[in-house]
Structure 1
């Protein structure tokens, strides 16, 4: 199929270095957390609800916590923090909301450049990283467990120090108590079955 009357696609610089208006993004400070939390996007929340039929108020809350996570990520990037933060299984609901947001590429890019001055990439663990972790686990399970515990404790400290213990508790205890990875998987399967028969 040929594209007729289509405007030519011209890209003079990588998308990651451009603002939503196409201008080169200037280095800026991360916006205040309150500004980031005030951002709304009904489409993202609606898409999440389509995949995970939960209480809409809970979906809004998960969207808020996902924005808080992105702010932490953006803040640590700005200050040049070297220690990588990870989305652990208890944070699956936040990660799934992030996946929904990333699908709205224009909105997500505009959000990133507006509040962080750069595009925040969603970087899942790679196959090579998984293989290295598996080799370490196979070689010395106790050493692997100790290293993982240290990594978790470090992340807990960072979250508690910057966002408070209430946020740490919400991400690792309260939200997963209601929406564990298993519960989200069940809800997603239920949603898929319902969509097939609707």
Structure 2
């Protein structure tokens, strides 16, 4: 399965890789739920949960498994939609306005995660993962 590749690439234990894979599947469910229930503010990956995004990228590499998982669990293919260069540049034009918007979106995301996945998941992602798998630490892990 895809988590075995993750062990090799990111130099984490198999146990940790399996945990991250399970958390990524929860993230995918959350993405689906946001689309399915019409949540106005879509969920997004920020620096705190980059490790989930890395596992998602890893899962996507196993295209047949990823497609089957999405279709079996959600009835549709969940596309990964990273921020484009033009979106990033546009965001940077009005940093003050966009920072407030970002913080509002993040607060909304915390609320969605808390309500749908629980306090434990929220703390795991935004407290534990934010420290253990910061941007710098992810770079150190890659072999």
> Do Structure 1 and Structure 2 share a fold, with TM-score over 0.5?
yes
The alignment covers a number of residue pairs equal to 143
TM-superposed CA distance for 1:179, in Å, is 1.9
Task: For 1:64 and 1:162, locate their aligned partners in 2 and report how far apart those are by CA, in whole Å.
Answer: 16
Aligned to 1:128: 86
Matching residue within 166, 179, 182 for 2:120? 166
Answering whether residue 9 of structure 2 is matched by residue 55 of structure 1, we say no
TM-superposed CA distance for 1:118, in Å, is 0.3
Q: Which runs of 5+ in 2 are unaligned?
A: none
Task: For 2:89 and 2:107, locate their aligned partners in 1 and report how far apart those are by CA, in whole Å.
Answer: 23
Which structure shows the higher helix fraction? 2
SS in 2 for 1:118: coil
Aligned to 1:32: none
Answering whether residue 62 of structure 2 is matched by residue 104 of structure 1, we say yes
SS in 2 for 1:81: coil
Task: For 1:147 and 1:117, locate their aligned partners in 2 and report how far apart those are by CA, in whole Å.
Answer: 32
Aligned to 2:131: 177
CA contact (8 A) 2:34 2:42 kept: no
Aligned to 1:20: none
RMSD, aligned α-carbons: 1.1
Aligned to 2:105: 151
TM-superposed CA distance for 1:80, in Å, is 2.4
4+ long deviations beyond 4 Å? none
Task: For 1:145 and 1:96, locate their aligned partners in 2 and report how far apart those are by CA, in whole Å.
Answer: 24
What is the TM-score normalised by the length of structure 1?
A: 0.69
What is the TM-score normalised by the length of structure 2?
A: 0.94
Q: Which has the larger radius of gyration?
A: 1
Query: Any residues of structure 2 matched to 1:1-198 within 5 Å, and which?
Result: 43-137=1-95, 141=96, 143-188=97-142, 191=143
TM-superposed CA distance for 1:75, in Å, is 1.6
Task: For 1:56 and 1:125, locate their aligned partners in 2 and report how far apart those are by CA, in whole Å.
Answer: 30
